[in-house]
Each structure stands twice: as structure tokens, then as C-alpha cells.
Chains A and B, each alone.
Chain A
Amino acid sequence: MVSIAVFAIISLAGFGFFAWNILKIRSNIRLGRDLDRSDRRSERWKTMALVALGQKKMFTRPIPALLHLAIYAAFVITQIELIEIVVDGLSGEHRTFREALGGFYTFMVSFIEILSFLALIATFIFLARRNLLKLPRFNMKEMKGWPKMDANLILFMEIILVSCIFTMNGADEVLYNRGLSHATDLGDGSLGLSVSSYLGPLLFDGMSDGTLHTLERIGWWGHIAMVFSFLNYLPYSKHLHILFAFPNTYYSNLEAKGRFTNMESVTTEVKLMMDPTADPYAAPAEGAAEPQRFGAKDANDLTWKNLMDSYSCTECGRCTSSCPANITGKLLSPRKIMMDTRDRIEEIGNNVRKHGKDYDDGKSLLGDFITEEEIWACTSCNACVQECPVNIDPLAIIVDLRRYLVMEESKMPTELAGMLTNIENNGAPWQFSPADRLNWKDEA
């Protein structure tokens, strides 16, 4: 009885705190500007199925993709076993489904065990890649400190989680062999699970019945405790991508990558300028929305999709490792752009909740997090966008930051100011007369 109550309380608290944190993130994302992505639904479902569920873009790098797939598949399939754990936990039964499902139960749990075993191997390799091989993209400037720790913590949690599963099933197997398991004895002599029916006897054979019962319980409670810890760690971690990959790919930009967004507010102004009948002194229409800042200075000037992107980033660094600016030693790192955006919108969200909507902490994304040098190093080549396994678009943020600098502050490299003046004066980025445009025709 006590254990049922403890289990119920842990579950409620676990899911409740998680939900509370997710709602907080949702409200942070909604601090962003409007953007309509409610169109082309079937295409969006398809993108999500291929990119998030099917991990299509991961497979451009096959080895990490396979390792990642092992962990991902184990994670997804384990959720089925979690149903049983919850039912067992609340009913006080043990392996509730085994008798009813029969051979299918053995197959399912065996499948989970195999995937968990593969996941365990993958986890060790991932740890080695980060800490022993020191892959460059995991050890760049922006990864120092918390991000590195975050990545390792997740991998350690994964190891504990899988170890708990095997301790639970392994100890139970030995107990079952002895006819002492709490699972209903079907007279088959073994639980028949793919990994633990070998691993259990190997590790626990000589132990006393009491020790085995304790181990089995440690495995069971350890597993569920890890599940809830993990769940509640997610909102604080880059690992949130396991959930956000789905909405984030659903709301992907489906246009050609080369197409930059059109700024409606500018279109209105330019149309007025070109309209000879427009009244330059006309007062804005009644109820017209307050003019927004051109481009983005702070994280809440970005669209909600940019912000969702930042929460979906798992800091894998494929963007940065393919960025021509970064490769040649420039300050720009698309991954850092995403990490900065997330850090800043978290800060803004906390400020709004603590001090109200109009609170100004005197900081901004551009300046305090991202420098001008970084955004001017971008060649807009779309390599980062192409590489991202969950369709994050760092370029959109970079462009919006440039728009703010150029249109609100007139701050840009001098050569660019010259280029823009040329376009405005003579319709070409260089100083040539439009009358000479066709001279090439008669040149030898």
C-alpha cells in the first residue's frame, strides 16, 4: 500500500512539474512575433514523419546516425514498457501484462532489451566521442562549461537507466528460475527475455533470495525514478529536442531556402512612396497596430518559430562544422546563435513573469549575446540550414539581426554602406552608369 501511494505521488509530481515547465517554455515561445505556418498541412505531416520520426537528415552522416538511432529506438519502444511499470506501480501487481499477452509480451520486452543493450553501447561510444576522441564540433568555445556538462549528464542518465532495466529484469529472471518471482509462474522456468535471461544468471546467480528481491526493487524504483528525473531534466536541457523535434519539423519553412522573408511593413511604406496620390502627412488609420521595430534587436523581436528553433537545438554542431565562416576561423557559429537565442528568451520570459510585461533589464540579444562581428561574417550560404537534422534555421535569425542594425541603427561595414548607396544612386552595387549597361555588346 505504502509503495502504491509513494508511486502515485512521485508520478503526479513528476508529470505535474514537467507540465508546468513545458507551459513556461510555451509562454516564452509565444513572446515571439506572429508567423503563419498553418498552411500546407499534409506536406507538414510528411516533413515531420520523414525528418523527425524517420531521422532522414541524420543519415547524411551514417555512423553517428546509426548510434543515435539505437538510442532513439530504445527510447521510443521503452515507453511501451513504461505503461506496464505505471500499471504495476498503481496496482501493486508484478508484470501485469505477461500472462495476458503471453508470447507477445516476451517478444516485446525482449525487443526492448535488445534495443536497450544497443543503446548502452551507443551511449558509451557517444561519451568517448565527446570526452576521449574530443571531436572538434563538441569542444568549441560555446560548448565550454554547462553545455558540455549537460551533454555528459544525459549520457550518464542513459547508462543508469539502462542498468536499472537490466538489474530489474536480470534479478527477476534468477528469482523466476527459483520460483520466487512475484510474476505469475507460468511453469516455463524462465522469463525468456532476450538479454536478461543470460545476463541475470551471469551476474546474480550466487546471490541470496533476499538480495535478489532487493536488487529487483532497486532496479524497478531506480528505473522509474530515472524516467521522472529525465523527464524533468528535459526542460532545462538541450535534450528537449527529443520532444521539440516533432513540432519544430512540422512547422518547418517549406519555401525554397534562398527565399528570405518579405517585410510587409516595408512593402506598405515603399508602396506609399511610389504612389503619387498618397498623402505624406496622412495620420495612421484608426486602430492601426503600433509600428514594430524593423528586424530584431532582442529575442522577442524574432518570430515564435525562431524561438521554437532555439528550444529544439540539441547543440550537435553540424551547422557550425559546415559553416564556411566558422571553418575559416571567423567568430560566427550558427550553433551559438541558437544557444544565445534560447538563453536570452529564457531570461526575457523570467523577467516577464517576475516583473511584468514591460520590464527592461537593459540587455538585448544583439550586443549582450551576439556581436555584430558574428552576424556580418555570414555568407547566407544555407549550409547550416541544410545540415540541421531538425530543420532549424539560424540564417533567419542572422538576417533579422542585420535588418535591425541596418534599418534602425544604420550600422554596417562601410563598404556595404557604399554598395547600398550605389544601388540607390545608379541601380548597381558598383559605381557604373545605367546608360553603360549594354556596352558589353559592342566590346571586342
Chain B
Amino acid sequence: MSLHVPTMAEMMAKGESPEILFWVGCSGSFDDRAKKITKALVKILNECKVNFAVLGAEENCSGDPAKRAGNEFTFQMQAMMNIQILEGYDVKKIVTACPHCFNTLKNEYPELGGNYEVIHHTQLIQELINQGQLALKGGGTYKGKKITFHDPCYLGRANDVYDAPRELIKKLDGELVEMKRCKTKGLCCGAGGAQMFKEAEKGDKEINVERTEEALETNADIIATGCPFCNTMMTDGLKSFNKENEVEVLDVAELIANAADL
């Protein structure tokens, strides 16, 4: 099945405007692993015939890592460029598959003049399922599997979204198992605050190893998450335990797309 991914520019040329902009983000655009998440979400959007578009080449980094690294200049330059583009397309509603883009667009753009309704993709998928637009075939994709959810900090503590991803996992025919530190007490994967782009400081353990160890203690078959950075960190963590063939790291969008046979 080929993906239907219109850009804002194409839609505008046809005199149309989408209901919602899918903000793909840099990971979702360039990182090989994260691209699969992007495609899973697009499959869901296509299946539900959601009238969406992407910015394509006009999208720019939201500025999150620059801001967390302390470079407010670079952040605001990015933000203002993005806001101009979004304004040009009169964007009202945005969905992102990355909690970092989500947080920045939702919380940090308004003060610079960018006001949108921003939702995380798990929230959108939950809405689609609740409205009956997406049916999970129940073909036993995850029958008997244990799934644990790793809370991304920028979704959970930063924005208090704990339920949407869990509600989705509960809709699968697998079993949701919680780690000892979850929800408000969830342990970071180690990538936030621009750590994704640098080596960790000197210590006696890598944060992602500590977190993966905790996930493995639940005996889960799948570590689910909702963030491309967390995905990378947990995948690397599994490799350090040589468990990459036994345990899978999947985004909630991928779990749902698989269960819906997309």
C-alpha cells in the first residue's frame, strides 16, 4: 500500500486546507528507525481518512535541543521561522510523533506568537479509535505478550500525558505490565535536555542501561514508548544486554498499526 502524504504546499496549490498538520520532526524525517514510526502513523491516518498534510522540505527543527542546551538564540530563530511558515498556511491544529516537538510547539511557541492546538500522536490515535474510525482486528498479533510502557519525560512529567498511550496498549490483546518507576516516577531514558546529541558525563552506568534493566525485570516481550529518542535509547540498552533478538522496542503507533493490520 503506498502512503498518501500531501504537503501543505500541494494542498494550498489545490485551494484546500487540511484539518491537521502532521509535524514529522527531525528524527521522524531522517532517523531510519524513527521513519518507521512516521510511516506507521501515516498508515493509521490514511486508514482513518484523516485530512492531514506535512510541511515536507519546509519543516525545520522545532528548536528543542537548542533551547535545552542553553542556546536561546538558535531556539528562537528556529521558532520564529517555523511560526512564519505555520502562519502562512494558517495552521490551527498539529499532531507530532515526538514529545520534544510536542512540548516545544505546545508550550514554548505561544509566547513567540505561535498558538496552535498541539496533540501527541497517541492522543490522536486514541481519539480515532474512540470515534470508531479505526478498528483493531484482534488477530492475535500480541496475544500472550507482555508489553511495558516507558514514559517519555516530555510527554509524562512535562505535560502530564500518562493515560493516552496506556489506554492504547490496553486495547491490544497483550498485557500491560508496569515498571517499578512509572508515570510521574518514570525514569528518563537519558536522551532529554540535548543529551541525545552528546556523550554522557562520567559516571558508573549509562542511564539507558539502568532503564532497560528495569524494563527487562518486568519480563516484557515488548518495550513500548512514544518518543523517537526513547526508542533509540531503549534499543541501544537492549543491545548492551544482548537481548535485541528477544525483546522489541516499538512505538505505540507501530503497535496499533500492526494490530489493525495496516
Contacts and interface: CB of A to CB of B under 8 A. Distances in A.
Interface of A: 60, 255-260, 262-263, 266-267, 269-271, 273-274, 294-295, 322, 324-325, 327-332, 373, 376-383, 385-386, 399, 401-407, 412-413, 415-416, 418-420, 423-424, 427-430, 432, 434-441, 443
Contacts of B57: 434-435, 437-438
A429 B34 CA distance: 15
Interface residues of B, number: 70
A407 B192 contact: no
Secondary structure of the A contact surface, majority rule? helix
Contacts of A376: 198, 201
Given A381-B157, A420-B69, A415 B199 contact: yes
Contact of B157 (A257, A294, A412): A257
Contacts of B196: 429
Given A407-B73, A415-B198, A427 B78 contact: yes
A381 B70 contact: no
A256 to B, nearest CB: 5
Contacts of A260: 67-68, 108
Contact of A419 (B55, B60, B65, B160): B65
Interface stretch (B127-135, B163-171, B183-191, B241-249): B183-191
Contact of B107 (A259, A406, A412): A259
Contacts of B15: none
Given A259-B158, A381-B188, A407-B71, 16 more contacts: A259-B103, A262-B108, A327-B187, A330-B203, A376-B198, A386-B157, A386-B184, A399-B70, A403-B71, A416-B197, A420-B69, A423-B65, A432-B30, A436-B29, A437-B29, A437-B59
A258 B159 contact: yes
Nearest to B154: A258
B173 to A, nearest CB: 29
A436 B185 CA distance: 38
B74 interface: yes
B65 A380 contact: no
B124 interface: no
B61 interface: yes
B56 interface: yes
B61 A423 contact: yes
B65 A330 contact: no
A324 B38 contact: no
Interface stretch (B88-96, B140-148, B205-213, B215-223): B205-213
A23 to B, nearest CB: 35
Contacts of A404: 70
A429 B5 contact: no
A294 B210 CA distance: 35
Contacts of B61: 423, 427-429
B107 A258 contact: yes
Contacts of A440: 28-29, 35, 38-39
Given A378-B193, A423-B74, A441-B3, A259 B108 contact: yes
B179 interface: no
B204 interface: yes
A324 B65 contact: no
B199 to A, nearest CB: 7
Contacts of B197: 415-416, 418-419, 429
Contacts of A328: 200, 203-207, 209-210
A278 to B, nearest CB: 14
B26 interface: yes
Contact of A330 (B67, B71, B201): B201
Nearest to B194: A416
B187 to A, nearest CB: 6
Nearest to B107: A259
Contact of B73 (A266, A274, A380): A266
B80 A423 contact: no
B13 interface: no
Contacts of A436: 29-30
A382 B73 contact: no
Contacts of A270: 73, 76-77, 80
A439 B160 CA distance: 33
A329 B112 CA distance: 38
B259 interface: no
B63 interface: yes
Contacts of B112: 262, 267
A235 to B, nearest CB: 33
Contacts of B56: 437-438
Contacts of A420: 66, 69, 71, 74
Contacts of B198: 376, 413, 415-416, 419
A183 B202 CA distance: 67
B251 to A, nearest CB: 14
22 contacts: A256-B103, A324-B187, A325-B207, A327-B210, A329-B203, A332-B201, A373-B202, A379-B153, A386-B157, A406-B71, A407-B71, A407-B72, A413-B198, A413-B199, A415-B197, A423-B65, A423-B78, A428-B60, A429-B65, A432-B29, A438-B57, A440-B39
